[in-house]
Amino acid sequence: MHPFLEISPAVNEALLAGQPIVALESTIISHGMPYPQNVETAMLVEKTVRENGAVPATIAILDGKMKAGLSHAEIEYLGKTGRGVAKVSRRDLPFLLANRQPGATTVATTMLIAEMAGIRIFATGGIGGVHRGAAETMDISADLQELARTSVAVICAGAKSILDLGLTLEYLETHGVPVIGYQTDEFPAFYTRKSGHGVDRRLDSPAEIAKLLKTKWLAGLQGGVIIANPIPETHEPAVAPIQAATEAAIAEAERLDIKGKEVSPFLLAKIKELTGGESLRANIELVLNNARLAARVAVEMGK
């Protein structure tokens, strides 16, 4: 057992029994939504995973441990504490573990801990990527490098629309990360189903996805896979208001000189404000949609 890894009894039992498991991140709880909606959403996502045949494993840093599988009380703590909990990427881990400080895991850190725990499937909202203006700032999310080296499949609604999606896809191609569109030929843009960019391959069933993942890793090809799962049409917000809010939020962030790991939470909160909460409603629906697909893929992997 890894000295800094703690697996909950429910997740450990599922691992020993070979049951399907889906990893879930915790940044969406502490930094993605206000309390109590963040806790309600986290519990609903876990419930959705269970209803589709898998065991949820929400991941966070607590009490000097990387925890795979949280109790309701631990999720409640993250939700109530909110941004008082550190947003943790790979580089932050040793500091928090050494000082026993709590941390909410990003896509990158959730992948890392999931792989340590033996979990291959991870559901999230959207991945980070290459930020606009990265040619000058070099602001590129650690999520992309983690995808290049960590063998976990990430089911997401594409990359966040605040990013440069074209450069994000170019980066993934350079590092050999397959981008699969689930029942789509086009890479989704988080809140919206279309981005104008294609995917590497289209697969139309959880069984096809599971076969691809098994083949990749059995062939010794390390690294992650993106399963891009568009938000359901019935929950997709109008494109023009989302685009206008995104541009306004980016301009505001530039004016206030907001940088680094604070950029994404600021932009998402600003977009929510400018859309009257419509973006948050869409965010919840796309996360639930990803949890459903992730559980079904995990079940097929188990077969």
Select which of 67, 87, 160, 272 is catalytic: 160
Based on the residue annotation, tell me whether 25 is a catalytic residue of this protein. Answer: yes
Cα–Cα dist 189/48, whole Å: 23
Angle at 232 between CA 57 and CA 82, to 5 degrees: 45
One-letter identity of residue 302: G
Cα–Cα dist 210/20, whole Å: 12
Other beta carbons within 10 Å of 44: 14
Based on the residue annotation, tell me whether 160 is a catalytic residue of this protein. Answer: yes
Cα–Cα dist 200/190, whole Å: 18
Closest CA to 109 of 69, 60, 39, 171: 60
Contact status, residue 202 vs residue 185, Cβ threshold 8 Å = yes
- b/e code 236-269 from CB counts within 10 Å (16+ = b): bbeeebbeebbeebbeebeeeeeeebebbbbbbb
One-letter identity of residue 181: G
Q: Is it true that the peptide bond before 36 is cis, omega within 30 degrees of 0?
A: yes
* Residue positions annotated with a catalytic role: 25, 160
